């Protein structure tokens, strides 16, 4: 037994050792095979920290590949608190450079031992000052920062990003998924005591670039002229939109107030609003484009049809609506040129609510345009079934309907290009590396026939040549357009304000081969508020500069007088006309039928206006002798010969320009002065 005892003890020890090793191997196998993923994750959470690095967003270009938004490499500041012996001293030193309280920096460093951001995307001067301190535990990491080299230029279109390069507004937000790639990663390795000992970096990929339809120089022209107009008129806000009518591409979208996208937080929220797509307003007389276009397309009127404007007053559903001036007999062309609300209302009544509504929708109002920018509103358009008996009249003159600038400029472009509505576009193509992907927009739709569009172009040219838009007349180019002046709704009373207006002008040039369409709107200008007075001159300055920049050939000769006036900076003389007077509504005791008003003197262009150029003998239309005729007889005689009568006064004709017998072009103006005096009538009759 004594000899077996050592052997037995060895066997027991061996068995115990085998059992112990088996248990250890079983435990290790269990941990490695069944709990490996769990413990690996726990170890990584304890030993590693992954920090996202701002990715490099794609570039935003203008149509000529000029950079409007880019990402640049900058330094961000972080600390490894486990390496900092005196956090209080470090916080005090950095506070003077970072303009942050030392206690706040110290608190950040106490929140972690391995890694903590102290400041993101610092300017170079601050980086240099911190590097000069040579502080232990303070490091820099390269990140991408969005930079807008042109500052405020096209700020509302471009938008801006946050500190992590996420798009917050404009195209930066709309195309964030395409422009912003996956962020880079910074891997921080720490030991068991959370002391940082190594790091590795995974760079981010570059995002896709976007080529816009905007032209940097045209955008600058629009913003410069808008800013000058706001400063002069003290308007609360405004916008200028320039569009290529033949493609729908927007060449400029300018808004005021504006902001610097490099420092968006330094500007109030209202400055961030893209008014061209988000601000809905009643357009006023510019909306007459729809009623006239629809009436011509449906064949229920013609440009030379004479409409009785009833000396500037009409009753609709018990409401008396007054014109801005007491017009009598006007042709449809003159209704547009002189911006008669009564004339437009009569055309709208002929159409009827259902047909009128269909044309409004066809021109793109009351619905989104599909532009690539976020925040677009559809405007305001009630269904025809919800219209009141007075709605047709109100909408005909641009009330009771809300539009946006991009909707209205696109509608005018449809007239300019021959009747096709192109949806406005702001993105031309996207680029990934060397591959370009063209943007695909909504298909264009024909709204009116080319013949109707050509007729409208001539009618709107009359607005500029001899109507309310005379101050939009261009030097060297023909132009067409329409003025608008609309009352704003007073938020306190819910009724139309007597002091707040939206002044606008929409037009295109040249008339026969339009290259651009321009819309100008000014919100609540102080002093002059008519569209023809404050918005039309902006159109003139923008259009002349843009057409010259685009090398569009002149189609109108520049007279020596215009050249001298341009050199001297003197404005050209113009008739004292406007397109608007606050609408007065009278409901008490209003008759059900349209009343006949006594004739009143109608305001007309000055008799000294430039006469129509005469042609050689045997050419054109001979001017008839009109002396002694009544207003109606003169109108009928001129229209029968294809001439455009400009009537001054009432009674019988006593004087005319050009003189009888002169040969003029069809459509030329014949200015005729009338008088009621019996003596003058006797002289006129005797002379005949």
Q: Please check the confidence at residue 582 and state whether its pLDDT lies above 60.
A: no
Answer whether residue 591 is part of any domain.
no
What CA–CA distances, in Å, run from 160 to 365, 418, 428, 556?
Answer: 29, 38, 20, 43
pLDDT at 235: 95
Q: pLDDT for 524-538, tens place per residue? A: 999 899 999 999 999
Range of the domain at 90: 50-209
Q: Please check the confidence at residue 135 and state whether its pLDDT lies above 70.
A: yes
Q: Catalytic one among 285, 333, 339, 668?
A: 285
In the chain, how many domains are there? Answer: 4
Do 311 and 231 have their domain in common?
Answer: yes
- Torsion angles phi and psi, residue 621, rounded to 5: -110, 130
Do 507 and 636 have their domain in common?
Answer: no
CATH at 673: 3.30.10.20
Do 460 and 342 have their domain in common?
Answer: yes
pLDDT band per the 50, 70, 90 thresholds, residue 590: very low
- Burial of 357 (C-beta count, 10 Å sphere; 0-12/13-18/19+): buried
Do 30 and 98 have their domain in common?
Answer: no
pLDDT at 622: 86
User: Which residue's entry shows tokens 């917050």?
Assistant: 168
Do 558 and 452 have their domain in common?
Answer: yes
Give the angle 621-627-632 at the CA atoms, nearest 5°.
80
Q: Please check the confidence at residue 678 and state whether its pLDDT lies above 60.
A: no
Q: What is the mean pLDDT of residues 287-310?
A: 94
Do 538 and 647 have their domain in common?
Answer: no
Do 183 and 97 have their domain in common?
Answer: yes
Q: pLDDT for 377-413, tens place per residue? A: 999 999 999 999 899 999 999 999 999 999 999 999 9
CB 617 within 8 A of CB 331: no
Q: pLDDT for 551-580, tens place per residue? A: 999 988 776 665 555 555 444 444 444 444
Answer whether residue 511 is part of any domain.
yes
Do 102 and 22 have their domain in common?
Answer: no
637 CB contacts (<8 Å, ≥6 apart)? Answer: 624, 626, 629
Q: Please check the confidence at residue 684 and state whether its pLDDT lies above 60.
A: no
* Structural domain ending residue among the three candidates 184, 209, 234: 209
Q: pLDDT for 597-618, tens place per residue? A: 333 333 333 343 334 444 555 5
Q: Which structure tokens are listed for 100?
A: 């942050």
Give catalytic status of residue 285 as yes or no: yes
CATH at 477: 3.40.710.10
Do 194 and 251 have their domain in common?
Answer: no
pLDDT at 31: 75
Strand, coil or helix: what is 21? helix
Do 518 and 393 have their domain in common?
Answer: yes
- Torsion angles phi and psi, residue 194, rounded to 5: 60, 35
313 CB contacts (<8 Å, ≥6 apart)? Answer: 320, 321, 322, 323, 326, 342, 595, 597
Q: Which structure tokens are listed for 605?
A: 């262009």
Do 123 and 223 have their domain in common?
Answer: no
Strand, coil or helix: what is 221? helix
pLDDT at 280: 95
Answer whether residue 39 is part of any domain.
no
Answer whether residue 584 is part of any domain.
no
Answer whether residue 193 is part of any domain.
yes
């Amino acid at each position: 037994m004594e000899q077996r005892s050592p052997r037995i003890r060895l066997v027991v020890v061996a068995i115990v050792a085998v059992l112990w090793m088996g248990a250890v191997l079983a435990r290790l196998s269990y941990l490695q095979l069944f709990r490996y993923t769990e413990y690996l994750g726990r170890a990584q959470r304890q030993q590693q920290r992954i920090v996202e690095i701002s990715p490099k967003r794609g570039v935003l270009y203008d149509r000529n590949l000029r950079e409007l938004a880019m990402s640049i490499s900058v330094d961000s500041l972080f600390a490894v608190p486990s390496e900092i012996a005196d956090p209080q001293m470090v916080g005090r030193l950095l506070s003077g450079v970072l303009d942050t309280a030392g206690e706040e920096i110290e608190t950040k460093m106490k929140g972690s031992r391995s890694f903590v951001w102290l400041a993101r995307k610092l300017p170079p001067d601050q980086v240099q000052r911190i590097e000069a301190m040579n502080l232990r535990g303070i490091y820099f990491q390269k990140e991408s920062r969005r930079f807008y080299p042109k500052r405020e230029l096209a700020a509302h279109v471009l938008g801006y990003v946050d500190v992590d390069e996420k798009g917050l507004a404009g195209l930066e937000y709309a195309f964030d998924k395409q422009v912003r790639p996956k962020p880079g990663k910074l891997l921080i390795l720490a030991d068991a005591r959370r002391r940082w000992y190594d790091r590795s970096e995974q760079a981010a990929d570059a995002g896709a670039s976007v080529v816009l339809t905007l032209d940097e120089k045209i955008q600058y022209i629009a913003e410069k002229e808008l800013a000058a107009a706001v400063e002069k008129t003290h308007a609360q806000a405004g916008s200028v939109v320039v569009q290529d009518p033949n493609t729908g591409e927007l060449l400029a979208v300018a808004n005021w107030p504006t902001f610097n996208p490099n420092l968006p937080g330094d500007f109030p929220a209202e400055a961030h609003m893209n008014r061209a797509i988000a601000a809905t307003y009643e357009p006023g007389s510019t909306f007459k484009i729809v009623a006239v276009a629809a009436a011509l397309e449906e064949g229920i009127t013609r440009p030379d049809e004479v409409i009785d404007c009833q000396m500037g007053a009409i009753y609709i559903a018990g409401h008396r609506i007054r014109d801005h001036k007491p017009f009598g007999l006007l042709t449809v062309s003159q209704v547009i040129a002189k911006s008669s609300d009564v004339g437009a209302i009569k055309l709208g009544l002929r159409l009827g609510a259902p047909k009128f509504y269909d044309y409004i929708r066809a021109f793109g109002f009351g619905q989104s345009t599909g532009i690539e920018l976020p925040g677009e509103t559809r405007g305001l358009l009630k269904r025809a079934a919800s219209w009141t008996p007075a709605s047709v009249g109100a909408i005909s003159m641009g009330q009771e309907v809300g539009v946006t600038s991009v909707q209205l400029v696109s509608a005018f472009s449809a007239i300019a290009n021959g009747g096709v509505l192109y949806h406005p576009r702001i993105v031309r193509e996207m680029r990934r590396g060397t591959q370009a992907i063209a943007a695909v927009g909504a298909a264009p739709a024909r709204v009116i026939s080319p013949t109707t569009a050509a007729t409208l172009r001539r009618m709107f040219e009359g607005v500029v040549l001899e109507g309310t838009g005379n101050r939009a007349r261009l030097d060297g180019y023909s132009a067409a357009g329409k003025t608008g002046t609309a009352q704003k709704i007073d938020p306190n009373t819910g009724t139309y304000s007597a002091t707040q207006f939206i002044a606008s002008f929409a037009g295109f040039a040249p008339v026969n081969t339009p290259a651009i369409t321009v819309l100008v709107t000014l919100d609540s200008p102080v002093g002059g508020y008519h569209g023809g007075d404050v918005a039309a001159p902006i159109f003139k300055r923008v259009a002349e500069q843009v057409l010259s920049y685009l090398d569009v050939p002149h189609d109108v000769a520049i007279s020596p007088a215009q050249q001298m006036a341009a050199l001297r900076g003197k404005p050209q003389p113009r008739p004292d006309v406007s397109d608007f007077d606050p609408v007065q509504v009278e409901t008490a005791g209003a008759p059900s039928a349209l009343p006949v008003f006594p004739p009143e003197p109608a305001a007309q262009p000055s008799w000294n206006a430039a006469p129509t150029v005469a042609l050689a003998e045997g050419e054109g239309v001979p001017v008839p002798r009109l002396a002694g005729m009544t207003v109606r007889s003169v109108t009928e005689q001129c229209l029968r010969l294809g001439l455009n009568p400009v009537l001054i006064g009432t009674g019988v004709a006593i004087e005319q320009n050009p003189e009888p017998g002169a040969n003029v072009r069809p459509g030329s103006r014949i200015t005729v002065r009338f008088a009621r005096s019996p003596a003058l009538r006797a002289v006129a009759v005797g002379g005949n």
